[in-house]
Amino acid sequence: MTGLELKNISATLEGMAVLSGVSFAVKPGEVVGLIGPNGAGKTTVLKAALGLLPLVGGTVFLDGQLLEGMNAKDRACKVAYVPQGAPVHWPLTAERTVALGRIPHISPWQNITADDTAAIEKAMRVTDCWKLRDRLVTTLSGGERARVLLARAIAVNAYFLLADEPTASLDPAHQLQVMEILKEQASNGVGAVVVMHDLALAARTCDRLILICEGRVLAAGTPGHVLTDANIQKAFHVSVSRWKAGGVDMIAPIARIDS
Ligand SMILES: Nc1ncnc2c1ncn2[C@@H]1O[C@H](COP(=O)(O)OP(=O)(O)OP(=O)(O)O)[C@@H](O)[C@H]1O
């Protein structure tokens, strides 16, 4: 597996240009943070990388192959997705919800195998939701549901994991845990792209950051290269404070800057 590569992606939604010439690649074994202000186009980038969006320009390659030339089952086995906001539509148990992650691997009319059952349990244990397995997902808290949906994506055993704000509704310990899980997935060869708004968490946990602003890549590279005062001011219209705590570089917004 060589990587997931977006080349010069442009997309228009309801007549409005949403992405313009977005290019970046994710390699197996790295965690890439996708950051940027609300409405910048981060979710749209993930949808483009999943082949869920008609593009007006550009190409997505998965392992050197054109994504649009691959069938849906193949794509779904290779790239897993954690959607934003932990939406759930059916009153399934948490375990059955996670089992949905195995669908791309199951042939029509085939029952789930011991491998599927093992993948489901493993994904639920690493995301700390095995104890929730018999609960209906519709009765779970937002944070519990978010962990179940992360488990569903991990259960796919895909080469790439695209997660849209998987830490958004989590308490501090579970935020750190989710990032640790993504790093552990990466150490096993998975390439992860994670959308996040917490710049300090992104800086300390991602190998690289891509800063999206108004549908374009404003900066890409190491957290130190991307999170400059100038880039943060341009993208987020805030000034930040930086300090070290317990050997960790911290960064927090301190004031809005009117543009
Ligand atoms: N289906 C759609 N039809 C029309 N416009 C859309 C559609 N989906 C997204 N957009 C617009 O595209 C732009 C980018 O949206 P996107 O969801 O990718 O932003 P984002 O960076 O993920 O934002 P956030 O941080 O708020 O989640 C926004 O202006 C949004 O209103």
Residue 78 has pLDDT above 90, yes or no: yes
Of all protein residues, the one whose alpha carbon is nearest to atom 1 of ligand 1 is 13
Question: What pLDDT sits at residue 159?
Answer: 96
Q: What is the pLDDT of residue 85?
A: 84
Q: Are 72 and 247 in contact (CB under 8 A)?
A: no
Nearest-CA residue for ligand 1 atom 2 is: 13
pLDDT one-digit tens code per residue, 126-168? 999 999 999 999 999 988 999 999 999 999 999 999 999 999 9
- Dihedral Cα 43, 47, 48, 51, nearest 10 deg: 180
Contacts of 214 (CB under 8 A, 6+ apart): 40, 41
Ligand 1 atom index nearest CA of 41: 18
Q: Judge whether residue 86 has pLDDT over 80.
A: no
Inter-residue contact 11 to 56 (CB < 8 Å): yes
Q: pLDDT digit string (tens) for 49-68?
A: 999 999 999 999 999 999 99
Cite the beta strand spans of 57-116 per DSSP E.
Answer: 57-62, 65-66, 79-82
Residue 87 has a pLDDT of: 76
Cα–ligand 1 centroid distance for 15 (angstroms): 13
Arithmetic mean of pLDDT, 204-224: 97
CA of 86 to the centre of ligand 1 (A): 17
Q: Is 40 in the pocket of ligand 1 (CB under 6 A)?
A: yes
**In angstroms, what is the span from residue 54 Cα to ligand 1's centroid?**
14
Q: Which residues of 189-198 are buried (b: 16+ CB within 10 A; e: fewer)?
A: ebbbbbbbeb
CB 64 within 8 A of CB 15: no
**pLDDT class for 110, splitting at 50, 70, 90?**
confident
How much is the pLDDT for 107? 78
Q: Report the alpha-carbon distance of residue 20 to residue 17 in Å, rounded.
A: 7
First-last CA distance in the chain: 43
Q: How many CB atoms lie within 10 A of CB 118?
A: 11
Q: Which atom of ligand 1 is nearest to the CA of 14?
A: 4
Atom of ligand 1 nearest to the CA of 165: 27
Q: 43 CB under 6 A from ligand 1?
A: yes
| pLDDT for residue 155 | 97
> What's the alpha-carbon Rg for the chain, to the nearest Å?
18
At 66 the three-state DSSP class reads: strand
Ligand 1 atom 17 nearest Cα: 43
In the reported structure, the alpha carbon of residue 215 is separated from the centroid of ligand 1 by a whole-number distance in angstroms of 10
Asked if 28 and 189 count as a contact pair (C-beta separation under 8 A), the reply is yes
Q: What is the pTM of this model?
A: 0.95
Share of the chain above pLDDT 70, in %: 100
C-beta of 15 in contact with ligand 1 (< 6 A): no
Residue 35's nearest CA partner among 256, 203, 229, 242 is 203
